[in-house]
Structure 1
């Protein structure tokens, strides 16, 4: 795993009932930044700024939603490659091995169950 990952799962940046600018937050970060923007019921809305390869991993008990805001994200699965451009999204089903590849600087909105380890189980 890449030691340069800057992932924080202990802090929710914006409490319910506050507004925030996702584009501005993403623009102010360097890769590999990943934070929880807010909580919605039992889910976290996270923002990741990526560049390059993450690693093969899976989440045994939760699906993982990706929506590209900027750049290109390829999500390699064991049987295919899913390519996402800005405005496009994909949900990786729970238990499925996947390997995200950011093709240059990429900003991704993710939704996943609260408490999930972003690096996989």
Structure 2
């Protein structure tokens, strides 16, 4: 029987911001952790929703109609095709992300960060 994934231990294994790490997979989806600091760029995912769960810290997800403010324990799903920009508020934030396997974090495979498994 496999061991459970301890998210704090996984997050302690890396320091890079905006570089998701795969911690599990299920039903064709990658479950990832990431560290956010500052802001990412505007992008969209034409074929898939984008799932965000704040583990630690605070973020805002800028949308065309205005920002969505989130703190630890908050979850938000950006619908497929909606342009968005995540950004941390007040320092580093730790996030759980879920996306179909192979989804580029930038929405564009040519500019996407690699997603190693840890």
Structures share a fold, TM > 0.5? yes
Q: Is the 8 A contact 2:48 2:80 kept in 1?
A: yes
Task: Report the structure, 1 or 2, having the larger strand content.
Answer: 1
- The alignment's C-alpha RMSD in Å is 1.5
- Structure 1 residue runs of 5 or longer lacking an equivalent are 1-15
Q: Is the 8 A contact 2:10 2:23 kept in 1?
A: no
Paired with 1:30 and 1:50, the residues of 2 have a C-alpha distance of: 10
Q: Is the 8 A contact 1:77 1:97 kept in 2?
A: yes
Matched, 1:49 2:35: yes
- Structure with greater contact order relative to length (CA < 8 Å, sep ≥ 6): 2
Q: Is the 8 A contact 1:66 1:108 kept in 2?
A: yes
Shift of 1:93: 0.3
- What residue is the counterpart of 2:99 in the other structure? 112
Matched, 1:78 2:69: no
- What residue is the counterpart of 1:22 in the other structure? 7
Q: Is the 8 A contact 1:36 1:47 kept in 2?
A: yes
Where 1:53 maps in the other structure, the secondary structure is coil
1:70-109 deviation digits (Å, cap 9, x = unpaired): 0111000001210110000100000000000112110000
**TM-score, normalization by structure 2:** 0.83
Paired with 1:19 and 1:114, the residues of 2 have a C-alpha distance of: 20
- Structure 2 residue runs of 5 or longer lacking an equivalent are 109-118
Q: How many residue pairs align between the two structures?
A: 106
Paired with 2:27 and 2:98, the residues of 1 have a C-alpha distance of: 11
